DNA sequence: TAGATTGTTAATCGATTAACAATC
DNA sequence: TAGATTGTTAATCGATTAACAATC
């Protein structure tokens, strides 16, 4: 019945905030660890200590999906893990193509951790004739001219965009035009896409700048302490 | 005088929220574009339309650093760009080493966009004897055994961690022990570090899972609309 | 001067934390 | 049954938005 309650809420489209969504993979990782270590039960309090999140937030987060626990007993690790799997679609078997077989694109094609998440890389595309035809992780790099044909003949859920900055917009338009619903964008450029498309950005240069900023702040903080 | 006001606040350690900090590189990119396009002045209203942020938030964010504008006239692009440069430490000349010369480490070593941010990659390290001695982006891969020696002889601000999951904790401990103050962590594992060290995580597998989740949600949403 | 737009204060909104009744 | 811990409601905290006096 816990399950039905959860489904009911999900169908009600109760909007789950981005903050909660972004914590889900983290829960998934920690619960996966517990499972691997043969821990069968955990309370929100214990988990909160491991994860440095308040127990209240954990319960609040899980209750967005109907709640997975048992009063007095906490959460069953197996069940929680399965539910998180369902929520995150690890069982959906997402297929992904990579646009741009440069260093980053090739690194992602070989990234084992992604493959462990029910995600399959089924195609790699590039513009450069010198790169087309080479092999990346068991796949032959195809010309971007063949993308639409490929998408029509295969279930493709996500396109990873690892192309130079000036090509990201045309490439995004192209794959969205072919019917792809999810973009994993590695270029430092915001994309404008139709309402039915989801974009997830990984802005590496933004990330390193934030780190730089924080290092400076910490150094200045230490400096001020001395005074 | 605007400048002094800004400095005063920064020294007061007025805590700037993470939300604001993470918007800074984005401002920097947009203002950089304007500069490139020879636009000399911009109001918060105009910028808000370009960036899909409220004008109020833009003014609020900039005022954390003392405010960079002129009433009635808006912001001078050149000046704003320079100030963002200072805030983000682009002029600091950060040096970075890469621990783990696998696919991802090598891709980052070759990532041009990072180098345009005043960041210099000065060393690449690996454990694997087959990899040590090979060349990455003009640098010879060194053994991780030499890290501390290297850090003692060079100014190293940041260590990028692109090592297998089970090695990230020992590697982090090692470089922190050598005196490095910033970690750019690409492993899907949270790091516990001393108070004076800053960690910036790039959890690629978390990111793709969030994307997967959102694709499912959108599909279900569309489904429900039909009913 | 009149119009525009800032920096900042106040109001609102949303997310996190605390408290507790329900219940295993 | 008594103790533990959930799911949820209420309180707090922080971030975003609105409003406006200051001023270019």
B137-154: b (≥16 Cβ within 10 Å) or e: eebebbebeebeebbeee
User: B187 Cβ partners below 8 Å, 6+ apart?
Assistant: B161, B162, B163, B164, B165, B168
B119 touches chain A (CB under 8 A): yes
The reply to whether B54 touches chain A by the CB within 8 Å rule is no
Answer yes or no: is A70 CB < 7 A from strand C.
yes
Predicted local distance difference test score (pLDDT) of residue B227: 63
Q: Which two tokens stand for residue A218?
A: 């910490």
Residues of B with CB below 8 A from A213's CB? 21, 24, 87-89
Question: Can you give the pLDDT at residue A64?
Answer: 96
Q: Which residues pair with B155 in a beta bridge?
A: none
Q: Indicate the pLDDT class of residue B67, thresholds 50, 70 and 90.
A: confident
Report pLDDT for B8: 37
Place of tokens 């959906």: A92
User: Contact, A123 vs A139, CB < 8 A?
Assistant: yes
pLDDT at B186: 97
- For every residue of A150-216, DSSP letters joined together read HHHHS---EEEE-S-GGGHHHHHHHHHHTT--EEEE-SSS-----TT-EEEE--HHHHHHHHHHHHH
Q: Is B73 helix (H, G, I), strand (E, B) or coil?
A: coil
Distance B61 CA to D17 C1' (A): 13
Residue B2's pLDDT is: 31
What is residue B16's predicted lDDT score, i.e. its pLDDT?
95
CB contact under 8 Å between B198 and A214, yes or no, is yes
pLDDT number for residue B11: 40
- pLDDT at position B3, please? 34
Please provide the distance, in angstroms rounded to a whole number, between the alpha carbons at the two ends of chain A: 61
- The residues of A between 23 and 62 with beta carbon within 7 Å of nucleic strand C are 53-54, 56-57, 59-60
pLDDT at B36 over 50: yes
pLDDT at A226: 66
Residue tagged 């940041």 (tokens): B158
Per-residue pLDDT tens over the stretch B165-201 = 999 999 999 999 999 999 999 999 999 999 999 999 9
Whole-angstrom distance, CA of residue B213 vs CA of residue B193? 31
Position B9 scores a pLDDT of: 37
Q: Give residue B14's pLDDT band: very low, low, confident or very high (50, 70, 90).
A: low
Give residue-wise pLDDT tens across range B124-178: 999 999 999 999 999 999 999 999 999 999 999 999 999 999 999 999 999 999 9
Q: Which of B9, B200, B187, B12 is nearest to A213 (CA)?
A: B200
Query: In the Cβ-directed half-sphere of A111, how many Cα atoms lie within 13 Å?
Result: 28
Residue A184 CA to its chain's centroid (Å): 9
Residue A84 has φ and ψ, to the nearest 5°, of -65, -40
Segments of chain A scoring below 70 in pLDDT: 1-14, 225-227
**Is residue B6's pLDDT more than 70?**
no
């Amino acid at each position: 019945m816990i399950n039905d309650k959860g489904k009911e809420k999900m169908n009600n489209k109760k909007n789950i905030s981005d903050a909660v969504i972004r914590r889900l993979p983290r829960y998934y990782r920690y619960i996966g660890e517990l499972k691997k270590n043969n821990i069968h039960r955990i309370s929100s309090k214990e988990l909160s200590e491991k994860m440095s999140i308040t127990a209240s937030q954990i319960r609040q987060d899980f209750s967005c999906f109907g709640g997975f626990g048992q009063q007095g007993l906490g959460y069953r690790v197996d069940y929680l893990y399965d539910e998180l799997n369902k929520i995150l679609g690890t069982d959906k078997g997402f297929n992904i193509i990579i646009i741009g077989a440069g260093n980053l694109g090739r690194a992602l094609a070989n990234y084992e951790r992604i493959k462990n998440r029910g995600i399959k890389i089924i195609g790699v595309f590039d513009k450069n004739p010198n790169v087309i035809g080479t092999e990346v992780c068991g796949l032959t790099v195809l010309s971007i001219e063949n993308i639409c044909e490929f998408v029509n003949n295969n279930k493709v859920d996500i396109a990873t965009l690892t192309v130079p900055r000036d090509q990201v917009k045309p490439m995004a338009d192209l794959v969205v035009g072919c019917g792809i619903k999810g973009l994993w964008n590695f270029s430092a450029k915001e994309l404008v896409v139709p309402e039915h498309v989801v974009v997830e950005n990984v802005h590496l240069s933004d990330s390193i700048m934030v780190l730089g900023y924080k290092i400076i702040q910490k150094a200045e903080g230490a400096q001020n302490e001395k005074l």
